[in-house]
Structures are given as structure tokens and as C-alpha cells.
């Protein structure tokens, strides 16, 4: 309940929720296999992970639920099989919507949370509901899509449900 209250954000007159109650939202298309920039300033793409499962979590520094979500995913990523890549996509700068994330945003998030900067990306991604988690198959199909904070055990359960070893 605390995170649901903390996650209710009013930005530029748009109410954005980031808890389980936000599941009845308009679907925002996942990023195309275009390019992004990682926390090290390198150009990266989802195509770099062809043949692997990819777990993507969308985050922003101003989202109260995004930090605990990132820590849950970090704990799972440390024990997950190599068949799964974990990527965080930063959707905005600290100032919020209308301020696209940059390599500096990604590097700052990676440094603050002890994440691999190569797996924290920035790009112009329109997103209103955070945190959001997606799991893609090696063929690029969406296997799981949920808005709202997940615990490490919930992330593990979704991986166990969808990933074929």
C-alpha cells in the first residue's frame, strides 16, 4: 500500500500510477529493435540479444517503486541462467516527462544501484506507467507484460513459467 501511494505521481497534469491498480491502462508499444544508448555511452539494440530471453524493466529516477523493483531484478539477475538478459530502460530524466533520458541518466541509475551500465539503457521511449516489466522470447514475442512493482519471488515465478531451459 505504501508504494502504491508513493507511486501515484502527477506530472504535467497527467496522473500516472505505478502499482497493480494501474494494470487497466492503454498499452504502450514496447521499444522497437531500434537503438538506445547504455550507461557507458555505447549504442546498443535489442537485436544484440537475438536468441536469448530478455527481461526489460522500465524505470525513472523519480518513480518511488522503481528503486525496489530494480533491486528485486538485480537479485534475480545474479542467479538467472545465461539464457536471460536483464535490461533496464530509463524513460526520462529526473525532471520527468518531456525530458528524455540520456546516457548520463543511465549511468547515474547504474552507479546508484550497483547495476552493470551496459544493461541500463536510455532512449526516447514514451512511457506513463512505471515500473513496467516485460519478458521477451528469443523470437521477440512478449511473454509477460505487467505494470507495477514485482518482488524477486514474483520475477522468478514468471521466469520459471515462461523460460524454457
Q: What percent of the chain is predicted at pLDDT more than 90?
A: 55
Among the listed residues 156, 63, 157, the one whose alpha carbon sits nearest the alpha carbon of residue 113: 63
Sign of the dihedral through C-alpha 26, 32, 136, 98: negative
- On whether the CB atoms of residues 125 and 57 are closer than 8 A, the answer is no
Q: Quick one: pLDDT band at residue 136, thresholds 50, 70, 90?
A: very high
71 pLDDT above the threshold of 90 = yes
pLDDT, residue 100, reads 83
Residue entry with cell 527481461 = 55
Residue entry with cell 537503438 = 35
Q: Quick one: pLDDT band at residue 72, thresholds 50, 70, 90?
A: very high
State pLDDT tens for residues 82-116.
899 999 999 988 777 778 889 999 999 999 999 99
pLDDT, residue 99, reads 80
Model pTM? 0.77
Domains of the chain, with CATH numbers?
A: 2-162 (3.40.30.10)
pLDDT, residue 127, reads 66
Amino acid at each position: 500500500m505504501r508504494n502504491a501511494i508513493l507511486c501515484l505521481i502527477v506530472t504535467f497534469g497527467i496522473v500516472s500510477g505505478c502499482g497493480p491498480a494501474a494494470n487497466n491502462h492503454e498499452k504502450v508499444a514496447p521499444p522497437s529493435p531500434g537503438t538506445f544508448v547504455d550507461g557507458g555511452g555505447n549504442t546498443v539494440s535489442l537485436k544484440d540479444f537475438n536468441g536469448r530471453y530478455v527481461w526489460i524493466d522500465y524505470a525513472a529516477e523519480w518513480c518511488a517503486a522503481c528503486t525496489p523493483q530494480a533491486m528485486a531484478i538485480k537479485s534475480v539477475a545474479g542467479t538467472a541462467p545465461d539464457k536471460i538478459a536483464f535490461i533496464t530502460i530509463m524513460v526520462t530524466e529526473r525532471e520527468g516527462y518531456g525530458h528524455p533520458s540520456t546516457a548520463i541518466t543511465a549511468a547515474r541509475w547504474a552507479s546508484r544501484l550497483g547495476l552493470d551500465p551496459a544493461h541500463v539503457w536510455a532512449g526516447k521511449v514514451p512511457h506513463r506507467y512505471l515500473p513496467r516489466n516485460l519478458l521477451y522470447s528469443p523470437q521477440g514475442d512478449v511473454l509477460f507484460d505487467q505494470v507495477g512493482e514485482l518482488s524477486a519471488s514474483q520475477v522468478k515465478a514468471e521466469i520459471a513459467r515462461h523460460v524454457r531451459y
